[in-house]
Amino acid sequence: MQTLKGEMAVEGMSRTGSNLKHWSISAVLMVCVVLAFFDKISIAVLFSDPSFQTAMGIGGDKTALGWLMTSFLLAYGFSSIFLSVAGDLVNPKKCLTACVVLWGLLMALMGMAKSYEQMLVLRVLLGIAEGPLFALAYTIVKQCYQPHQIARASTMFLLGTPIGAALGFPITAYVLANFGWQMTFFVMAGLTLLVVLVVVAGLRDVVLKTGAELNAGKRMGWQQHLENCKVLFGAPAFWAVCLFNTALLTYLWGLNGWLPSYLIEAKGINLKEFGSLSSLPFIAMLIGEVAGAFLSDKTGKRAAQVFAGLLVAGIAMAAVPQIESPMLTILAMSVSAMSWGFGVASVFALLARVSPDNVSATAGGVFNGFGNFAGAAAPVIMGYIVTRSGSFDNGIMFLVVIAIVGSLVLLPLVRKY
Residue 206 β-bridge partners: 2
Q: Choose among 143, 137, 213, 210: nearest CA to 368.
A: 137
Does some domain include residue 1? no
Greatest C-alpha distance within the chain: 61
Does some domain include residue 7? no
Q: Where are the beta strands (DSSP E) in 118-249?
A: none
Q: What is the pLDDT of residue 15?
A: 37
Residue 187 domain boundaries: 17-207+220-413
Please tell me whether residue 206 adopts helix, strand or coil conformation: strand
Does some domain include residue 136? yes
* Secondary structure letter of residue 2 according to DSSP: B
3-state secondary structure 111-131: CCCCCHHHHHHHHHHHHHHHC
Q: Determine how many CB atoms are found less than 10 A away from the CB of residue 14.
A: 16
The identity of residue 3, as a single letter, is T
CATH number at residue 69: 1.20.1250.20
Rounded to two decimals, what is the model's pTM? 0.66
Does some domain include residue 214? no
Does some domain include residue 160? yes
Does some domain include residue 11? no
Counted domains in the chain: 1
Q: How far is CA 343 from the centre of its chain?
A: 14
Does some domain include residue 5? no
Does some domain include residue 10? no
CB distance 4 to 209 below 8 Å: yes
What is the Cα–Cα distance from 347 to 353, expressed in whole angstroms?
10
What is the Cα–Cα distance from 252 to 374, expressed in whole angstroms?
11
Pick out the chain residues at pLDDT < 50: 1-18
